[in-house]
Amino acid sequence: MAGKKGVTPKHIKQKQFIHPGIDHPAIQILEQIEDPRKPSLFLCYSSTSVLFMVLAAFLCGATDWPKVVAMAEGMIDWLANYVDMSSGVPCERTFKNLMNAIEPSSMEKALRELASLVREKKSKEVVSFDGQTEKGTADKYTGMKGIHLLSAWSSDNNICLGQIKVDDKSNEITATPELMDMLDLHGTIITADALNTQKTIAAKAIAKGGDYILPVKGNHSCLLQDIALAFDGIEIEQAREKMQWERAIGKAKENRDKARLQRLIEKGASACGAHTKNEIEKSRGRVEIRQCTAIQAKNLPSSEGWQKLRSLVRIKRERVEGEKKSCEIVYYISSLKAADVEIIGQSVRQHWGVEGLHWYLDVVFRQDKSRYRNRIGARNLAIIRKIALNALANETSFKGGIATKQCVACCNPTYREKLVKKLF
C-alpha cells in the first residue's frame, strides 16, 4: 500500500555520509547548514560535499555552474581529503537544485561564523556597511528587480563579516540595524554612506558598544546647514585670533622682546578648538591634498536625537591633475572626540574598502554577468563568493592579485590547501 503523499516512509533512512575532514572547522560549519532535501533512497550527495565543491571551485576561478562541475571533476581526489566523494561529482542540475533550496539565513550564518574564525579584533576596527544590487538577477520582461544585498566589511581584517538581503519593498535603512544586531561590533567604528546616516543607526552603533562616523548630505538639509555654519564660525574666530597673534608678534619685535617672541612663535595662533590633519598624496601625475578638520559638536541646533554626538568633521579634498583642479567638501558627524582627528580621517578613507569588495565581486567573480534568476540561489551563491574572497584576500604567501591567486589555486593543490586554511 502506498504511503501518504508528502510523508517519507519510516523505512527510508537518511544516508550517512563520512567526511574525512570533519575535524576541519570550515567543514563543521558547513555541516551545520540544514539539508532541505527529504530522505530518499536516491540521495547520493551530501549537502556539505556539494557546498564544499562549489566553494573550492570559486576559490579556483569558477563563475558559473559548468565551470563548477568541470573544476570539481578535475580535483576530485583533492576534494576527497575533506568531504565524501564516493558518488563522484553531481551534474549542474543537482548543484542548482540544492543551492535554490537551502535557507539563505543558514548560509548567512555560516558566512558570519567563518569570518569570526579569521577576524582579529582590534581597537577602533572600521566596519563599513554598504549595499549592492546584483544586476544579473533582474528580469526586465517580468519586471523583476535585481536583489539588493547589504554587506558589512572590515577594512582592518580585509574580510566580509556578514550579509543580509534588503527586502524588495524596503531599503538599507531598515536592513542595516538588523545586520548590526548579528555582528560583534564592540569597540569598532561604524561607517556607512549618506543614505544610512540615520538616528536609529547611530543609536544602534552606540548600543553595540561602538562609535560611528556618518556623512551628512542633502537628505539632512538642516543638519548639513548647521554644520557648515559651525565651521564658518570657527574660521572667523581663527582669522581673528591669527590677526591678534600677528599683532602680538609685531609688537614683540618692536620691543625687541626675544623671549616673548619665541613663546608666541612656539605657541602659534589659536585653533579655536579645531583639530586638523593634512595629507598629501602623489600618484600617476595626480596630486591630492586632504584636510580633515574636527570640532566639538556643542550647541548644535540639530543635534537632538543623535546619540553621543561629540564631533563635527569636515573633509576637504583638493585634486590637481595636469591643468585640471577640483575641490570637494564633505561633512560628517561622529561619536569620536574632535581630538581623535587622525583616527577620524583614517576611518573615512577606510570606508572605501567596501567599494573594493563590490569591485572584486563584479570584476573578478563576474557577479553582474551571472544570469542566475532564482532569488534564493543567487543570494546563497553571493555568500559563497564572499567566503572565497575572504580566503583569497587574506592569503599573503603568494604576491599577486585575486584573479592570479585563483589561477594558482586551480593548478596547485598545495596552494589550494593554504586557501582552505585561511577559512578558519
pTM for the full predicted model: 0.87
pLDDT of residue 10: 61
Q: How confident is the model at residue 44 (pLDDT cuts 50, 70, 90)?
A: confident
Q: Identify whether the C-beta of residue 101 lies closer than 8 Å to the C-beta of residue 47.
A: no
Q: Identify whether the C-beta of residue 36 lies closer than 8 Å to the C-beta of residue 63.
A: no
Does 369 fall in a domain? no
> What one-letter code names the amino acid at 237?
E
Does 323 fall in a domain? yes
* Statement: residue 366 has pLDDT above 60: yes
* Statement: residue 280 has pLDDT above 80: yes
Does 248 fall in a domain? yes
Sequence-distant (6+) residues with CB within 8 A of 11 are: none
pLDDT of residue 7: 58
Cβ–Cβ contacts within 10 Å for residue 78, how many? Answer: 15
Q: How confident is the model at residue 319 (pLDDT cuts 50, 70, 90)?
A: confident
Report the C-alpha dihedral over residues 235, 236, 240, 245, rounded to 10 degrees: 0
C-alpha cell of 333? 558627524
pLDDT of residue 5: 57
Q: How confident is the model at residue 1 (pLDDT cuts 50, 70, 90)?
A: very low
Does 278 fall in a domain? yes
Does 129 fall in a domain? no
The number of folded domains in the chain is 1
Average pLDDT for residues 168-185, to the nearest whole number?
Answer: 89
* Statement: residue 11 has pLDDT above 60: no
What range does the domain containing 269 cover?
A: 220-339
Does 327 fall in a domain? yes
What CA–CA distances, in Å, run from 96 to 75, 145, 369? 20, 21, 17
Does 324 fall in a domain? yes
Does 81 fall in a domain? no
DSSP 347-413: HHHHTTHHHHHHHIIIIIS-TTT-----HHHHHHHHHHHHHHHHHHHH--SS-S-HHHHHHHHHH-H
Q: Identify whether the C-beta of residue 82 lies closer than 8 Å to the C-beta of residue 52.
A: yes
* Statement: residue 135 has pLDDT above 90: no
Long-range contacts at 291-295 (CB < 8 A, ≥ 24 apart): 291/315, 291/316, 291/318, 292/341, 292/342, 292/344, 292/345, 292/348, 293/231, 293/341, 294/334, 294/338, 294/339, 294/340, 294/341, 294/344, 295/230, 295/231, 295/234, 295/338
C-alpha cell of 230? 559651525
- Tell which wins on pLDDT, 266 or 210: 210
- How does strand 324-334 pair with strand 311-321? antiparallel
Per residue in 90-116, pLDDT tens? Answer: 999 999 999 999 999 999 999 999 999
